[in-house]
Amino acid sequence: MDNPRLSIIKLSNGLEYLDLFLEYNRIDNFFHFAGFSSVGKSFKFRNDAYQANLELPITIASSMLRANVEECTFWQASSAYIFNCDQPIDSDSPYRAFSPYASSKLKALKALKSVFENTSIEIVPIHWFNHSGSFSNENFIIPKIMNKVAQGVLGGKKEVIVSLYDQEVRRDWGVADNFMSRLAGSLERKSLIQEQNKNGIYASSSINASVRELLEEISRQCGLSIIVEILGNNMGERPWDPRNVSVSSKCAAEQVLSFKQESLQEVVKEWLDDFTEYMSNIHPSSFTKHFSCHPPRHTPTGI
């Protein structure tokens, strides 16, 4: 790619700008991140999940066809929850539509392949494993925790209360900006990615830890006591919530994305830096005072 650049389009503001952008700009890679409907939220707001995860990508695809976009890769993002999570996930793991979220994502993938069937636009699924950043909303666990931590620090509190359904579930954790930067470095090798992973590519740091272990490390680094309020029986009220979601060592060896060896401590520090900078834009003096050990690192991309 000559003179590559990144353009971020906020589709929540309307699709008119997308039509104009596609008409006057060459697109090599289009990433669709619909970080709106979580798995749990999709059970209560099924129509919202289908609108964000199915109707919107089809609308985007139609706009690309109208603009005669060619030789482009459409990266359709989803979480790991479209798979059977009973075992560590790899390139042979079967899809499983056990939630409206998963169903809408899988139907979108099928629809996009049909829409682009006779074009030069390729569809590549990209599966995220609990990537988080300050741009995410509180439907997701890391923003829920980190926003509470930030409020506690800003308020000069010694402890904060976080409401969760379960703190013993285990996940692979990662930093969203890291995932994107490493993916960007691999775009030239997308053919190799497709050859090795029939279900797409996998973005995971392979750092597997329970929510409790995560909270302990956050507490240690920020100096706050974190009290967990359990909301109910996890398996009774959240039967879709697997006990352990992880990427297998087989998949980690196959995937083309080269992740540096990170630790849980490094991931937590990067989250703290990210949320620190985000909140310092709102309360600069107070946040800088309390988080002086975590200087601002970068500006969140908002993707």
Nearest partner of 145 among 165, 160, 128, 130, judged by Cα: 160
- How confident is residue 114, by pLDDT bands cut at 50, 70 and 90? very high
Q: Residue 290: beta bridge partners?
A: none
The rounded Cα 124 to chain-centroid distance in angstroms is 16
> Which domains occur in the chain, in start order?
14-128 (3.40.50.720), 135-171+207-246+263-290 (3.90.25.10)
d(CA 154, CA 269): 18
Residue 66 host element (H or E): helix 56-66
| pLDDT tens, position by position, 259-274 | 555 788 988 998 888 8
- How many Cβ atoms are within 10 Å of 192's Cβ, its own excluded? 11
- How many Cβ atoms are within 10 Å of 24's Cβ, its own excluded? 8
Q: What single DSSP character describes residue 226?
A: E
Contact at 8 Å (CB) between 280 and 114? no
pTM of the model as a whole: 0.76
| pLDDT tens, position by position, 193-242 | 554 455 677 777 778 899 999 999 999 998 899 999 887 654 444 556 77
